[in-house]
Chain A
Amino acid sequence: MTEKELLSKLKTIITPYVQNQEGLIKLTEDTDFIKDLEINSANLVDVILDVEDEFDIEIDNDAMEKMLTVKASIEVIADKLAAK
């Protein structure tokens, strides 16, 4: 899976939780889920569960704690996919 495809899938997953739609339009690698997209911090676990379902991977607590930006999330997902 290319990084572009990963980004596109990730964007679809986070969209329902985003409270700042403008941030979604301007989405880049540096976008921060909480600061830029105003995703409620409680909803981050739901994003992780949706990521697990979409990519058929398991994200442990340590990896989850890193997934606060688009870039970090893509790295974690790519790592987990590579380890499959």
Chain B
Amino acid sequence: MKNRRVVITGLGVVAPNGMNVSEFSIAIQKGESGVRFIEQLKELNFSCQIAGIPIYNSDYLNNYFNSIQLLGLKATGMEYGVIAGLDAWKDAGLPMSETDTPLWDIGVIFGTGIMGVDKFREAIYKVDEGNVRRLGSTTVIQTMASGISAFLGGILGCGNMVTTNSSACSTGTEAILMAYERIAAGNAEIILAGSTNDSGPYIWGGFDAMRILPHKYNDNPAEASRPMSATANGFVPGSGAGALVIESLESAKKRGATIYAEILGGHVNSGGQRNGGSMTAPNSEAVKQCIRKAVAASGIHADEIDAINGHLTATSKDSTEIQNWCEALGRRGVDFPYINSLKSLVGHCLAASGSIESVATILQLKENFIFGNINCEDLHPEIASLISRERVPVKTIDFSPEIIAKASFGFGDVNACVIFKKYKT
């Protein structure tokens, strides 16, 4: 039996450079960076004192959480995920369910890397003081990984699969593919898919300690995140959430929903931490296989890909990633697709990166542009030797892409690649 067609009918985003989809779309087209100096990181003696954090005041949460849910809420990832998730739901024109019957055909697959660390810190202090009885009822629900899918599933009344996936920086892209597969196979009609990541020093400290974050840009944060640049020197930590309503074409048509794009297919795999792959670096063979299998599963030819939204974190691995794309697609020089990295604008949003970057990718298909890579005027010479300079736009260009490939790679040597297409009947 042929798989059913699957489309995207709603988007939501909470990003360092935009608190909703329209702000975010404008920011990425204008090249507005969301990377800022963070006083707290300076006070805590971080080498890297800059980060991408979504900016909003606490009143804003009243639009998404009821007063009971807000009591003792101390989990930024929960805030970002619920805001993005509910925005995507509304954007898809789906109603808030008032009935007692769960929505059996609607699920939630919302990933995270770690959540509620500030809540967990509060709990650790109380436990260590011998005061566990004073923790209150909210510690578990805010620190369990699946807290985010549980919150969203409960608010919306979802009765299909409600789960949280976790695969480091490929989490968001993986969630989209899990949703796609479940719907394509006929096991669900709609899935709210996405991912979220906490912000703050306890999240980023470990990366700072690994000396993989840039430390020379504390005075000019907007220039710090430099994917594909000769002067790239580490990823800027970010945070936020992205959410997509993924739906069978049949259901979307029946509802008369606006369709942003179609998901043609994709692939997830692992390099097994063999053959150059490790806990922190991808096995190039696995990356190439992931891309090739995604293309094959989508029923397209590699030549049909108009643009790539890469993983491209702004480390020395960027050149390797470009080489892998070249070999996997059999394309180079002027024949290479346009390529960009959202990380130049918001930093690396870790578990949230795949979903936020997918929202950016889908906006390109819907609104006909390729956003520019800021901080990449000095293209890395190894990349310049593989692909044409004009394939890496530094300013947003008017272009109507038909097919865009999006990939994410994560710690643990795990990969995910999804192929999006402009929707046509």
Q: Give A contacts to B, CB under 8 Å.
A: 16-17, 19, 40, 42-46, 49
Across-interface contacts of B67 in A (CB, < 8 A): 16
Across-interface contacts of A42 in B (CB, < 8 A): 137
State whether the Cβ of B130 lies closer than 8 Å to any Cβ in chain A: no
**Is B68's CB under 8 angstroms from A19's CB?**
yes
B405 CB to closest chain A CB (Å) equals 44
B144 CB to closest chain A CB (Å) equals 13
Interface string of B120-156 (1 = CB under 8 A from A): 0000000000000010111000000000000000000
Within 8 A of A (CB), among B260-277: none
Across-interface contacts of A43 in B (CB, < 8 A): 68, 137
Q: In the complex, what residue of chain A is closest to B137 when comparing beta carbons?
A: A42
Q: In the complex, what residue of chain B is closest to A17 when comparing beta carbons?
A: B68
**Is B71's CB under 8 angstroms from A46's CB?**
yes
Across-interface contacts of B138 in A (CB, < 8 A): 46
The CA of A43 and the CA of B140, in the complex, are separated in Å by 13
The CA of A45 and the CA of B72, in the complex, are separated in Å by 13
Q: Please tell me the number of chain B residues within 8 Å of chain A, measured between CB atoms.
A: 8
The CA of A16 and the CA of B68, in the complex, are separated in Å by 6
Across-interface contacts of A17 in B (CB, < 8 A): 68, 71
Across-interface contacts of A46 in B (CB, < 8 A): 71-72, 136-138
The CA of A48 and the CA of B2, in the complex, are separated in Å by 57
List 18 A-B pairs, Cβ < 8 Å: A16-B67, A16-B68, A16-B71, A17-B71, A19-B68, A40-B68, A42-B137, A43-B68, A43-B137, A44-B137, A45-B136, A45-B137, A46-B71, A46-B72, A46-B136, A46-B137, A46-B138, A49-B134
Across-interface contacts of A19 in B (CB, < 8 A): 68
Across-interface contacts of B137 in A (CB, < 8 A): 42-46
Closest 4 CB pairs of A and B: A42-B137, A45-B137, A46-B136, A46-B137
A81 CB to closest chain B CB (Å) equals 20
The CA of A4 and the CA of B90, in the complex, are separated in Å by 46
The CA of A82 and the CA of B271, in the complex, are separated in Å by 67
B56 CB to closest chain A CB (Å) equals 22
Q: In the complex, what residue of chain A is closest to B134 when comparing beta carbons?
A: A49
**Is A49's CB under 8 angstroms from B136's CB?**
yes
Across-interface contacts of B134 in A (CB, < 8 A): 49
Chain A CB within 10 Å, residue with most, of B67, B72, B136: B136
Interface string of B49-66 (1 = CB under 8 A from A): 000000000000000000
B248 CB to closest chain A CB (Å) equals 35
Q: In the complex, what residue of chain B is closest to A41 when comparing beta carbons?
A: B137
The CA of A16 and the CA of B137, in the complex, are separated in Å by 14
B125 CB to closest chain A CB (Å) equals 15
The CA of A17 and the CA of B72, in the complex, are separated in Å by 12
The CA of A33 and the CA of B71, in the complex, are separated in Å by 18
The CA of A40 and the CA of B134, in the complex, are separated in Å by 18
Q: In the complex, what residue of chain B is closest to A18 when comparing beta carbons?
A: B68
The CA of A51 and the CA of B271, in the complex, are separated in Å by 55
Across-interface contacts of A44 in B (CB, < 8 A): 137
B68 CB to closest chain A CB (Å) equals 6
The CA of A19 and the CA of B137, in the complex, are separated in Å by 16
- 8 more CB-based (< 8 A) A-B contacts, given A40-B68, A46-B136: A16-B67, A17-B71, A43-B68, A43-B137, A44-B137, A45-B136, A46-B72, A46-B138
